[in-house]
A and B are shown apart, each in its own frame.
Chain A
C-alpha cells in the first residue's frame, strides 16, 4: 500500500470513529435528563484532557501530574480573551489551544531534560503554583473570585431548528464538536509515523536515538500537543460558569490521571471508558447507597474511596487498565 493510501485509510478511520463518538454522545444525550446531559458534557470536555495524558504518558512515556494546571492556562486564556477583549467564545477556545501549546513548549523544553519522578514532581509543582499566580496577580486574573463566563443561552437558529433545548444540552452541543476534532487529531497522530516515533522514544530512548530520532525534540513536540489539548479542555471546563483557582484544583490533575489509568494509559478507548467512570461512578454510588441506611459521614466519602480503590486495584492487578483487560480477553479467545 502506498504512503498516500495508508494516510487516506488512517484519515478515513479517524473520521469515522470521531463521527461515531459524536453521534453516540448525541444519541445518549437524547435518553438523558438535563443533569446527565451536563454530565455527558463534562465527560466530553474532560475526555480531551484525558486524551492529552494518553498522548503524553501513554504514547511517549512522560508522566504529568499537572494537566489540571495546563487546563487552567486554557481556561484563563479563553476567559480573559472574552471578558477583556470581547472576543467570541468560539474564537477564544481556538486561541486557548495555541496559548496552552505555547505554554507547553516552554514546559516541554524543561521537561525534556527530566524523566520519571523528577518530571512528575515538576509537573505537580506546576499544578500547585498556577492557582497562586492567579491570586498573586489579582488585578489581572481576578484572584480567587475568578472570571465569570458561560456558554450563554442556546441560539435562536438552533432552537428554531431542533426545538427548545436545555442549557445543559446546549453545553454538550458546544463541547462535542471540539471533542470529536480532538479525537480525530489524536487518532491520526498515534496511527501515523509521528505516533510510532513517540512510542519508540517511550519504549527505548537509546534505540530510538540510534534510529535517528531526536529525543529532546520529540518530547517537546508531545508536550506541545498534549498542552494544546489540555488547554482546550480547560477552556471548555471553565465556561461552565467560572474560571477560578478553585475550578482547577490540584486533585483535578490526579483525577484525570486516574481516568487514564483505569481505562488504560495506552488506549484511546480506555481514555473514553476511564472518563465515563470518573464522571458517572459517583452518581452511580449515590444511587445505590440511597437504598441502604449508610451514615452520611461514611456516604460522602464513598465515591472518592471507591475510585481510589479502583485505581489501586488497576495498578496492582491490571496495570494496562480496562482496555488492556479487554485486549487480553480477545487475545485468549483467539488462541
Chain B
C-alpha cells in the first residue's frame, strides 16, 4: 500500500473537487436573509423521489404555481416570491444537509410547507435556534406546535393528527359500536400521534392483535402482509390507517391479495389521497375502475373541500391557477395540489399582512397575533396564537364514492372541532370567508 506521494496528490485532487463546489459569496443583505426589495425566497424540503414521494412530490409544484400567479399580479408588496425546493428522499440524514443548503447557500427567508414528520424532527431544533420562520409545515404532528416556547418559529400547515384522530375516532366509536376496530400505523410520530388521538376518543387497540405497525418508508419492500394478516386473524372489522398514501395503496392491494375484506376502511387524510392511491395501484397493473371501487366506501376526514367538489369556489379558483401556472411533471388536480395551493395562499396572506418592512421576527409575531384571522379554503379556522401554533382546528368527515370523490357523510358537511389535548369534540360554527374574484388574499 503506497501512502506517501499519492496521499498528498489525492489530497490536492480532493481540494480541486471541493474548490469547484465553492459557491460565490453573495453580498450580505442589510435585512434578514432571503428578502430583498424585489424578492422573498422561501425554502421547502420534501421527498421528491423515494418510497414516500408519490403524491407529496406534487405539493411543491402546486405551491410554486400559486406563487407564480401572485408574482404575475405584482407579487407581495412589490416583491416576487421564489420557492426553492430540496429533495430529502424522506431520509433524515439527508434532510440535515438539504436544510443547511437552503439556509446557507440559497439564503432562504423562511422554511415553507416542508413535508415529513420524521425528517422534520431532525432539523426543527436547528431551524428554531437560528430563529428562521418555519411556516405551514406539512405535518400534523402536534408535538411541533403545541409548545411554542420549545419551537417558537414553527407553525403547522395541517390540522394535527391528534385533532383529526379524535374527531374520526369519536365517529367510528359511536357508529360502529358493535364492530371490532383495529389500526395499521407507521411507527413514527405521525402514527403514534394519531394513535394517541384515537385512544383519547375512547378507542382501544391491543398490540399484536388489533394494532399493527410498520417502519415508515418500508411499506413498498415489506408489502404489509404480516400486519394485515394479523388484523385479519384477529377479526378486525374496521381498519384504520394512519400512514402515508403509498402505504394505504399497498395495504389495500395486500388486503385484496390475502382476501381480507374489512367492513370499513378509515384513513387519516394525509394517507387518503385518491389520485396517489390510484396512481400507485395503477403502476401495479390495477385498472382505475378497480382501484376506484376499492377506495369507495372508505371513510376519511378533511379540513378543506374535497378536490372533486366542483361547486366549491376555492376549488374552482385554485384549479384554474393550477391549469395555467403549474409547470410540474404531474399537475393532475388532487388533495396534494389543493394543499400546496392552500398553504401558498396562506403564506401570501401572512407576507401581505406583515407589510413592506418584512423581517423574520415580524412574520412570527404576525402569525401569533393575527394568524387565526387568516382565511383559506379550509372549513375550519387556524388555531395560531401565542400559546399554540396548531393550524386547522377542525375536520369534516366523508366517504369516498364510486368516482373517488370524498362526499360528506349523510350528504351534509358538518365540521367538528377540538384541540390536541383532552378537549371535547364539538360542532364548529366557523363560516369560511369567500375567496376574492382575483383569488388573491385580502389582508388589512
A and B part of one assembly: yes
**CA separation between A144 and B90, bound complex, in Å?**
12
Please, what's the 1-or-0 string for A228-259, where 1 marks a CB less than 8 Å from any CB in chain B? 00000000010011101111110010000000
B285 within 8 A of A: no
| Chain B min CB distance to A90 (Å) | 20
**CA separation between A246 and B1, bound complex, in Å?**
35
| Chain A min CB distance to B377 (Å) | 26
CB-defined A-B contacts under 8 Å, sample of 15:
A20-B8, A35-B104, A36-B22, A58-B1, A240-B96, A242-B121, A246-B93, A246-B216, A247-B122, A269-B8, A270-B6, A272-B10, A296-B48, A297-B329, A326-B6
A66 within 8 A of B: no
| Chain A min CB distance to B227 (Å) | 13
Given A138-B187, A148-B121, A168-B104, are A247 and B92 also a contact pair (CB < 8 Å)?
A: yes
Contact status B104-A241, CB under 8 Å: no
Contact status A144-B9, CB under 8 Å: no
**CA separation between A261 and B180, bound complex, in Å?**
55
- Among B10, B121, B328, max chain A CB count under 10 A is at B10
- Among B3, B17, B23, B189, max chain A CB count under 10 A is at B3
- Per the 8 Å Cβ criterion, residues 261-319 of A in contact with B are 263, 266-270, 272-273, 275-277, 280-281, 283-284, 287, 295-297, 300-301
- Per the 8 Å Cβ criterion, residues 104-150 of A in contact with B are 131-132, 135, 138, 143-146, 148, 150
Please, what's the 1-or-0 string for B9-48, where 1 marks a CB less than 8 Å from any CB in chain A? 1110111011111110100000000000000000000001
Given A145-B188, A246-B92, are A24 and B11 also a contact pair (CB < 8 Å)?
A: yes
- Per the 8 Å Cβ criterion, residues 82-107 of B in contact with A are 87, 90-93, 96-97, 100-101, 103-105
Contact status B121-A244, CB under 8 Å: yes
- Per the 8 Å Cβ criterion, residues 134-172 of A in contact with B are 135, 138, 143-146, 148, 150, 153, 166-168
Determine chain A's interface SS by DSSP, over half rule.
helix
Cross-chain contact of A191 among B3, B17, B96, B121 (Cβ < 8 A): B3
**CA separation between A21 and B18, bound complex, in Å?**
14
**CA separation between A326 and B215, bound complex, in Å?**
44
- Which chain B positions have C-beta within 8 A of A176? none
- Per the 8 Å Cβ criterion, residues 4-29 of A in contact with B are 13, 17, 20-21, 24, 28
Please, what's the 1-or-0 string for B239-262, where 1 marks a CB less than 8 Å from any CB in chain A? 000000000000000000000000
Cross-chain contact of B121 among A146, A263, A283, A296 (Cβ < 8 A): A146
- Which chain B positions have C-beta within 8 A of A273? 10, 13-14, 17
Contact status A276-B105, CB under 8 Å: no
Given contacts A24-B15, A38-B100, list 19 more A-B pairs with CB under 8 A: A17-B3, A34-B104, A42-B97, A138-B187, A145-B121, A145-B188, A145-B189, A146-B118, A168-B104, A187-B3, A195-B1, A241-B96, A244-B118, A244-B122, A246-B217, A268-B3, A284-B17, A284-B21, A300-B48
- Which chain B positions have C-beta within 8 A of A21? 11
Contact status B23-A246, CB under 8 Å: no
Contact status B10-A39, CB under 8 Å: no
- How many chain A residues touch B (Cβ–Cβ < 8 Å)? 74
**CA separation between A135 and B129, bound complex, in Å?**
28
A69 within 8 A of B: no
| Chain A min CB distance to B137 (Å) | 16
| Chain A min CB distance to B82 (Å) | 14
Contact status B100-A280, CB under 8 Å: no
- Per the 8 Å Cβ criterion, residues 207-236 of A in contact with B are none
- Which chain A positions have C-beta within 8 A of B10? 263, 267, 269-270, 272-273, 322-323, 326
Please, what's the 1-or-0 string for A315-335, where 1 marks a CB less than 8 Å from any CB in chain B? 000000011001100100000
**CA separation between A104 and B426, bound complex, in Å?**
57
**CA separation between A283 and B329, bound complex, in Å?**
23
**CA separation between A250 and B376, bound complex, in Å?**
41
Contact status B2-A144, CB under 8 Å: no
| Chain A min CB distance to B282 (Å) | 18
- Which chain B positions have C-beta within 8 A of A168? 100, 104
Interface residues of A (CB under 8 A from B): 13, 17, 20-21, 24, 28, 31-36, 38-40, 42, 58-59, 131-132, 135, 138, 143-146, 148, 150, 153, 166-168, 187, 190-191, 195, 199, 237, 240-242, 244-249, 252, 263, 266-270, 272-273, 275-277, 280-281, 283-284, 287, 295-297, 300-301, 322-323, 326-327, 330
**CA separation between A168 and B100, bound complex, in Å?**
8
| Chain A min CB distance to B302 (Å) | 26
- Which chain B positions have C-beta within 8 A of A36? 18, 21-23, 105
- Per the 8 Å Cβ criterion, residues 123-167 of B in contact with A are 123, 125-126, 129-130
Contact status A150-B14, CB under 8 Å: no
Please, what's the 1-or-0 string for B202-227, where 1 marks a CB less than 8 Å from any CB in chain A? 00000000000001110000000000
B119 within 8 A of A: yes
Given A31-B22, A35-B100, A132-B215, are A300 and B90 also a contact pair (CB < 8 Å)?
A: no
**CA separation between A245 and B218, bound complex, in Å?**
12
Contact status A269-B7, CB under 8 Å: yes
| Chain B min CB distance to A269 (Å) | 3
B175 within 8 A of A: no
Contact status A150-B126, CB under 8 Å: yes
| Chain B min CB distance to A287 (Å) | 7
Q: List the B residue with the shortest CB-CB distance to A283.
A: B21
Cross-chain contact of B93 among A237, A269, A296 (Cβ < 8 A): A237
Q: List the B residue with the shortest CB-CB distance to A296.
A: B329
Contact status B328-A276, CB under 8 Å: no
Contact status A284-B118, CB under 8 Å: no
- Which chain B positions have C-beta within 8 A of A237? 93
Contact status B1-A190, CB under 8 Å: yes
**CA separation between A272 and B13, bound complex, in Å?**
10
- Which chain B positions have C-beta within 8 A of A31? 19, 22
Q: List the B residue with the shortest CB-CB distance to A143.
A: B187
**CA separation between A150 and B92, bound complex, in Å?**
14
- Which chain A positions have C-beta within 8 A of B429? none
